Structure 1
């Protein structure tokens, strides 16, 4: 049995589509675990409307954040396998069947699939995979592709796990970027890992999500996570050190772009700018960076006010 864990918090606009996509799976041996994390809208009521089904478990709890909700789902899940789906996303009808098929044929602990990004308010292009490809990859290759966002990412979604992976692993409660904070624990506990080109997970990038919310100092935990990955690569996978350093700088640019729009974070923006400037030799010499990042570095050399001017123009036209 597969346990499908869905944390729910104030997603009344999206929740029914998510739940219905799970209930209409071609693979039938699953339980749906809905964790209502103290929603203040009608999300909890929508969950309860599905409460008469034998394969649905509903928990209402005090708000504790995404990591806490996922942990609760792990603790009460009864399946041999676990997959996470965010409550504003949805999946194709053959999602569970395809990932389970790959897991069985490759005899692995984790299957990592592709996914389709959907930007709220924009037309959806569903790239249906016609020829299913899959195979085992090493942990080193898994890290490399995650760090470079080469077809797979650190997200906990769009993956199927043997439940034993989470016997001694939990998401870090109260921290943003919970996925990148846990990914090394998950990968290191796996015996074997497989990837597939199958894309049956639809990831909605909505303006009200965590990724698009305003900057706050708690976001800096992202750099703690990337620094741990750099150290892990140095210790166990030295061939991936450059990729880990690239991801660290990439995340620094991301945080700078979010912090620079608010003058109260000028000191933090200055620190992030300094980090990028100090790594300019690496940025200019590494083939992992493109011209956009090199130009951004040159602009940063001119100072934060100049960078802020160009950032606003770039951000408006993305």
Structure 2
């Protein structure tokens, strides 16, 4: 059987929602698929649930020690044999025609990347919530039923969803650019996105909701805690990508503010038990920036609020002093 789409699902303690996720895969109207399920060291009943679905020959179950989402997805990509690759998180689900719709669009237009709409589903209320990012609202009528390249999205690049699950990718394209997720950190989607987007010559969009993203109390982004320390290495990774792809000069003002804004938001939102450590890590990173070749650009292009945060972190002797400086700063959160 020719495999049209390799669907990669990394599973870590996903028993609560896993059957709903996998049942949505079984219902897919596109049948020429392989489903690569990587059980990433789960300690719940995920392994047993996955075994039930292995009766379907299209499911390939890999049980492994915990290596993290980025490394797990990379392993899935190495194993993939499909013409196209897609990702599904184990607590989310697809609409029944999702893979067929995405594949047909990508195949007919010969795209490197095709992006579709996604809906947020709030577990505690049952509410379906749409937002500008997942709606693809930045793509106006110019992008309807056409193929474009990354340069045509310059004006709104930093307002696009970085979610790896919101797209389908030509496997030969990912292999050609050696696309990988950073391993051992959270927020791996952002570096992956900028890497694949800034090299793509053929992109299309589908203004159709194909994916449901479940928001619940155990979601990675549900609680801003020590996991958010990884906005620092994630930011380092995607900053390097702009330099390596020759796009730094083009995007530097937006890039610098996008990067520093992540620190501002995290300092404002992170839990009390983690904020002091995040402040210390931020200070170390800002000192690296001061000693980098890019410091003059940071000084020139940072917004007032980002500049205040940057200077207040650097100039304070500890977190308590930073809080006082920030309260008195015009660029306060």
Distance apart, 1:66 and its partner CA: 0.5
CA 1:240–1:248 in structure 2 vs 1: closer, same or farther (change >3 Å)?
A: same
Out of 149, 153, 161, which is 1:153 matched to?
161
Give the corresponding residue for 1:312: none
Give the corresponding residue for 1:125: 128
TM normalised by structure 2 equals 0.75
Tell me, which stretches of 5 or more residues in structure 2 are unaligned? 136-140, 290-295, 328-332
Out of 217, 225, 235, which is 1:223 matched to?
235
Distance apart, 1:188 and its partner CA: 4.7
Confirm whether residue 114 of structure 1 aligns to residue 117 of structure 2. Answer: yes
Out of 29, 32, 40, which is 2:32 matched to?
29
Give the corresponding residue for 2:202: 192
Question: Which whole-Å deviations, capped at 9, do the CAs of 1:87-119 have from their partners, x for residues lacking one?
Answer: 111111121122112213322121011211233
Question: Which whole-Å deviations, capped at 9, do the CAs of 1:271-290 have from their partners, x for residues lacking one?
Answer: 68999xx96974557xxxxx
**In 2, Cα distance between equivalents of 1:282 and 1:18:** 44
Any residues of structure 2 matched to 1:29-108 within 5 Å, and which?
Answer: 29-108=32-111
Contact 1:252 1:272 in 2 (8 A): no
DSSP 3-state at the match of 2:127: coil
DSSP 3-state at the match of 1:3: strand
**In 1, Cα distance between equivalents of 2:53 and 2:146:** 37
Distance apart, 1:163 and its partner CA: 0.8
Contact 2:38 2:61 in 1 (8 A): yes
Give the corresponding residue for 1:162: 170
Tell me, which stretches of 5 or more residues in structure 1 are unaligned? 286-292, 310-314
CA 1:281–1:173 in structure 2 vs 1: closer, same or farther (change >3 Å)?
A: closer
**In 2, Cα distance between equivalents of 1:41 and 1:213:** 24
CA 1:257–1:272 in structure 2 vs 1: closer, same or farther (change >3 Å)?
A: farther
Give the corresponding residue for 1:268: 281
**In 2, Cα distance between equivalents of 1:126 and 1:254:** 22
**In 2, Cα distance between equivalents of 1:126 and 1:236:** 34
Confirm whether residue 141 of structure 1 aligns to residue 149 of structure 2. Answer: no
- Give the number of equivalent residue pairs: 299
**In 2, Cα distance between equivalents of 1:24 and 1:101:** 17
Please tell me the root mean square deviation across aligned C-alpha atoms, in Å. 3.7
**In 2, Cα distance between equivalents of 1:241 and 1:270:** 21
Confirm whether residue 248 of structure 1 aligns to residue 256 of structure 2. Answer: no
Contact 1:68 1:171 in 2 (8 A): yes
